[in-house]
Amino acid sequence: MTATQTRAVRFDAPDEDGLARIVIDRPDDSVNAINAEFLEDLADAIHAARAANPRGLIVSSAKPRQWVAGADLKLVTAAREARAPQDASRRLQGVLDELAWLPCTTVAAINGPALGGGLELALACDYRVATDSRDVSLGQPEVNLGLVPAGGGTQRLPRLIGLQRALDLILTGRRLDARRARRLGIVDEVVHPAVLEVAAQAWAARRKRSLDRALRIGLSLQSALDVAEQTPIGRHLIYRRAEKSVLERTHGHYPAPLAALHAVQEGLEHGMAAGLAAETAAFGELATTPTARHLIWLFLATQRQKKRTGVGSARRIERLGVVGAGFMGAAIAELGAASGLSVRMRDVQHEMLARAMAGMRRSLSRRRGVKPAEVLARVSGTTDYTGFRHADLVIEAVFEQVDVKRRVIEELEHVILPEAVIASNTSALPIHELAVGATHPERIVGMHFFSPAQRMPLVEVIQPRGAAEWAVAAAVQAGRRMGKTVIVVADSPGFYTTRVLGVMLNEAALLLSEGARIQDVDRALVGFGFPVGPFVLYDEVGLEVAHHAGETVTEAFGDRLPASPIVPQLVAAGYTGRKARAGFYVWPEDVGRVRRFVHRPQRVEHPAVYRMLDAPPSRSFEPRFIQDRLVLLFVNEAIRCLEEGVLQSATDGDLGAVLGLGFPPFLGGPFHYADALGPGALRQKLEALAQQHGSRYAPSSLLVDRAREGAPFFSNSDKDNDES
């Protein structure tokens, strides 16, 4: 077999069976990402295939467990106007059209991620074979970056699997494993990695599939809903329902899903050429929006954070101890075991250990690509400290009480090795206070997991003064191994996330004393872009938990942050939130999924709140006023954290706020939001609020300096690490 070698893609001439190959292997890179050079190499390989006239053509990757993971985002971040990304989209569409129109049968042999442009490359082939490896995922995640598919994905996917199913993927950015993709009709066969080549050869020997034939096959696998997809009225109803769903989910803050919907509609109603043109136009227009730039920045910053060094080195963590088998302790044990760690979990009650294991089993059974029995085999329980002797890291997750945590630390120091690290899972308790009396305080750090820990992507590692670099590095290593984005913060009351959130929640409660309605405040924050409002969050977290964490913040900063009395009053009255069915809201009883769907019980404002405050709702505040009162205080406190050294960088502040607290991703985080407003304008807004509502709004010294110098927190949000 002879080969025509190009830079990222090569063409292997037909073998004795008449099967040729296009092999993708981008040099000097761990992944195959699509850029301009890649496209030219792919086009050359396709031209070579046309000239060779093989019986069949297999498109594969030479990289183990890597197929094509999408476009190189530098194509977007470098753009200053719509024309450049639109040209790139047209070129990608054109090259993939050439692949689709080859006279021979084409097969995509997928051994890794096929995302974005990678999936579009696969869709341009007649057939798709994928391995059953956990490395394989398929999807169009562009909307999560503020973009739309740019290589025909909005056109080929609906024609392959039907309109409704395609919209469910394109408008959400959801990813599929190989078996689910097979059930939807995206993948034709799922095989063991060892036989991928053989399976691809078998499919390449088949007759070429026409797009119309693919459409009929895709639709024949679906439900009666597909009958509606064949009529203009039926499709119109699907479009309108999809639009309504997008607006309910995004509140109009994310334009990409609606633009993708428009491109799909254009293609199905006016032909594929019209759809491709709409896709290209939308891609270019979206690529230069602040929303896309912020979402892409967050994605790239998260990827860099997972590789970031600078916290010292630690021996590899292999054995994890967890003290406390409650909700959080069990979640941490599950995360550790799922990441391959050997986990020993301790609780004084056998019942708690049994409940934790059962909960882990249920949780793991819901995770795709995970074998619960294999994970649980790495977890063992005990009511004492047997098995902790050789732990590399122990995370205590007991009650949020200083004396309880100190006692656990004292007990651990009599058991574990001197080089083992102790991490306290706490949202607010100062780590240096927990380490009082410890024999080796230098190995004690904090690890703040967010609930529910299995789903929340952030871990805040707290570094007290005097902590050893290797101890901090061990906690960072463990968090990353569990798949989390980790930020390292200084040991200060409330750390970073609890502090800035606590300031905002307290201000929301103070607004009630001024005559605001609970629901108006919540609606304003959701309208701003937060996933839930402050009072729903209070009730979901639990008012006793919020009160305990808030006390740490208000005690430390009470001179400038007057505390609202309502939360301790509600806790004293037994109104502790959703679990108690009463907090700031009265919550409906859990009546089961069917009855809940039929009756749709709603939460209602709790009238006791207004009685306790002796402040019935008496004023109608504009949403913008509420948003400024809460969000600008949040942003100012984040800047104070950077000023005081609690945060190491503005990047950490934005990642922590977005990933841990739900700060609107489309705004990039509090520091990007400050830059968007402009430090000078932000300072003026805060000074005006301080005159009206008190010194807690006084601009931080760092903000005053930035405003005077005209210096943003990021010199260029498109660059990797330019916070100054």
How far is the C-alpha of 120 from the C-alpha of 91, rounded, in Å? Answer: 13
What pLDDT, on the 0 to 100 scale, is given for residue 221? 44
CA 706 centroid distance within chain: 31
User: In 10-29, which positions are buried (b, 16+ CB within 10 angstroms) versus exposed (e)?
Assistant: bbbebeeeebbbbbbbbeee
Q: What's the average model confidence in pLDDT over 52-75?
A: 94
Please give the C-alpha separations between residue 156 and each of 186, 301, 376, 645, in angstroms, as whole numbers: 10, 32, 41, 51
Helix pair angle (670-677, 623-644), 10° resolution = 110
**Nearest by Cα to 448 from 477, 470, 466, 428:** 428
**Nearest by Cα to 133 from 180, 191, 84:** 191
Instruction: Please determine, looking at this structure, whether the domain spanning 497-709 carries the CATH number 3.20.20.20.
Output: no
CATH class for domain 319-490? alpha beta
How far is the C-alpha of 629 from the C-alpha of 90, rounded, in Å? Answer: 46
Residue 193, pLDDT > 90, answer yes
Q: What's the average model confidence in pLDDT over 21-43?
A: 94
**Which region among 41-50, 203-212, 665-674 has the lowest average model confidence (pLDDT)?**
203-212
Question: What whole-number percentage of the chain has pLDDT above 90?
Answer: 84
What pLDDT, on the 0 to 100 scale, is given for residue 246? 97
Residue intervals in the chain for CATH 1.10.1040.50: 497-709
Give the three-class secondary structure for 356.
helix
Residue 719, pLDDT > 60, answer no
Please give the C-alpha separations between residue 105 and each of 54, 101, 557, in angstroms, as whole numbers: 9, 10, 69
Give the three-class secondary structure for 465.
coil
Which strands sit side by side in the sheet containing 175-176, from one edge to the other? 114-115, 138-139, 175-176
Per residue in 344-384, pLDDT (tens digit) is 999 999 999 999 999 999 999 988 778 899 999 999 999 99
Per residue in 551-562, pLDDT (tens digit) is 888 888 877 888
Residue intervals in the chain for CATH 3.90.226.10: 3-288
**Residue located via tokens 């609020």:** 689
Most distant CA pair in the chain, distance: 88
Q: What's the average model confidence in pLDDT over 248-275?
A: 97
- Superfamily grouping for domain 3-288: 2-enoyl-CoA Hydratase; Chain A, domain 1 (3.90.226.10)
Give the three-class secondary structure for 236.
helix
Structure tokens at 223: 């439900």
**Which region among 70-74, 210-214, 638-642 has the lowest average model confidence (pLDDT)?**
210-214
CB atoms inside a 10 Å sphere around CB 241:
12
Q: What's the average model confidence in pLDDT over 115-144?
A: 97
Question: What pTM was estimated for this model as a whole?
Answer: 0.93
Q: Which helix (H) or strand (E) holds 305?
A: helix 290-307
Per residue in 84-129, pLDDT (tens digit) is 999 999 999 999 999 999 999 999 999 999 999 999 999 999 999 9
Looking at mean pLDDT, say which of 72-86, 209-223, 491-505 comes out highest: 491-505
**Nearest by Cα to 627 from 516, 496, 495:** 516
Residue 549, pLDDT > 60, answer yes
- 268: exposed, middle or buried (Cβ count in 10 Å: 0-12, 13-18, 19+): buried
Dihedral of CA atoms 189, 192, 196, 198 in degrees, nearest 10, equals -90
CA 447 centroid distance within chain: 19
Per residue in 298-314, pLDDT (tens digit) is 999 999 998 876 566 77
Please give the C-alpha separations between residue 289 and each of 168, 295, 673, 718, in angstroms, as whole numbers: 24, 10, 14, 12
What pLDDT, on the 0 to 100 scale, is given for residue 145? 97
Question: What whole-number percentage of the chain has pLDDT above 70?
Answer: 93
CB atoms inside a 10 Å sphere around CB 135:
17
**Residue located via tokens 């630390």:** 409
Question: Among residues 460, 551, 637, 723, which one is catalytic?
Answer: 460
Residue intervals in the chain for CATH 3.40.50.720: 319-490
How far is the C-alpha of 197 from the C-alpha of 61, rounded, in Å? Answer: 11
What pLDDT, on the 0 to 100 scale, is given for residue 309? 62
**Total number of residues shown for the chain:** 724
DSSP string, 378-406: TEEEESSSTT-TT-SEEEE---S-HHHHH
Confirm whether 460 is a catalytic residue: yes
Cβ atoms of 198 and 175 closer than 8 Å: no
Q: Please enumerate, as own/partner, the contacts of 407-411 that have beta carbons within 8 Å and a separation of 24 or more.
A: 408/323, 409/434, 409/435, 409/438, 409/444, 410/437, 410/438, 411/385
CB atoms inside a 10 Å sphere around CB 718:
16
How far is the C-alpha of 93 from the C-alpha of 154, rounded, in Å? Answer: 11
Structure tokens at 438: 């410890």
Peptide bond into 452 cis (omega under 30): yes
Q: Please compute, for residue 720, the number of CA atoms within 13 A of its CA located in the half-sphere on the CB side.
A: 5
Q: Which helix (H) or strand (E) holds 469?
A: helix 469-481
How far is the C-alpha of 657 from the C-alpha of 663, rounded, in Å? Answer: 5
Q: What's the average model confidence in pLDDT over 517-529?
A: 97
Cβ atoms of 68 and 61 closer than 8 Å: yes
